Amino acid sequence: MALPKIDLPIFEGVLPSSGQKFKYRAFTVKEEKILLVAQESDDSAQGIIAIKQVVNNCLIDMDVSQLAMFDLEYVILAIRSKSVDNAIQFAIRDPETDEQIELEFDIEELKVETAEGHEKEVKISDEYTLFLKYPTIDEYIKISEMDPDDPLLNYIILVACLDKVASEDEVFEFKNYTQTEVDEFMEGVSSNVIKGIEQFFATMPKLRHEIKYTNKNGKEGVFVVQGLNTFFL
């Protein structure tokens, strides 16, 4: 006789980027093992791949590869809160005194912050407007695997943000065109358009939370919780 399969409760959340609802289950031992690998890895790309695998296992009826990075961070924290609890405890080294400081934060206190001046549209001409999108987790993995000194890195980041070009009568979605055609398009835009894309990427929404503490000298410090590395300290 086979061992019984355990039915896990299903929870519902809302993606910060779009307001779309998503359903998920809690971690199992299988996912906890994958997360341990992610925590111990010095390879950022491998860590992101492990996180993607966990979210993919726990999400129900949603393609994880299409999630924006901050959506992925939000989802993995939602899953973690239902699997363990809302509180995360960890220790840091104070840069002034080198003492170990014990910190704690509530996952529910993490909010998506959007920088001032963030715009998803860049005017190309009187006729055409460029619409931008948040790079997916797969695009982030590709970027993280590149050499930081690679001269093509900034260009790859910019292209990952391209969604479509539209006028009142026409819409051109970049996913329908070859890399060569996209390259030719990018070669023809002005420097102001490039600056607009760079501004979009630099001001993208992010999950962020500041934790204040006081060291043994009585000086107040701030630790910023931001990005997958700090979420899993």
| Contact present, 51 and 116 (Cβ < 8 Å) | no
**How far is Cα 29 from Cα 168, in angstroms, rounded to an integer?**
52
* Other C-beta atoms lying within 10 Å of the C-beta of residue 182: 14
Tell me, what's the pLDDT at 225?
A: 84
**Per-residue pLDDT in tens (0 to 9) along the chain, 233 residues:** 776 667 788 999 999 888 899 999 998 888 888 878 777 766 777 778 888 898 999 999 888 888 888 898 889 888 988 888 788 888 899 999 999 999 988 887 778 888 888 999 999 999 999 999 999 888 888 888 888 888 889 999 999 999 999 999 999 999 999 999 999 999 999 999 999 999 999 999 988 888 999 999 999 999 988 866 555 54
Q: Which of 204, 206, 231 is nearest to 84 (CA)?
A: 231
Q: Are strands 206-214 and 220-226 parallel, antiparallel or unpaired?
A: antiparallel
Tell me, what's the pLDDT at 101?
A: 93
Tell me, what's the pLDDT at 37?
A: 75
**How far is Cα 231 from Cα 38, in angstroms, rounded to an integer?**
12
Tell me, what's the pLDDT at 121?
A: 96
| Rg from Cα positions in the chain | 21
* H or E segment and range at residue 13: strand 11-14
Tell me, what's the pLDDT at 208?
A: 85
**How far is Cα 19 from Cα 22, in angstroms, rounded to an integer?**
9
Tell me, what's the pLDDT at 167?
A: 95
Every domain of the chain and the residues it spans: 11-112+206-231, 121-202
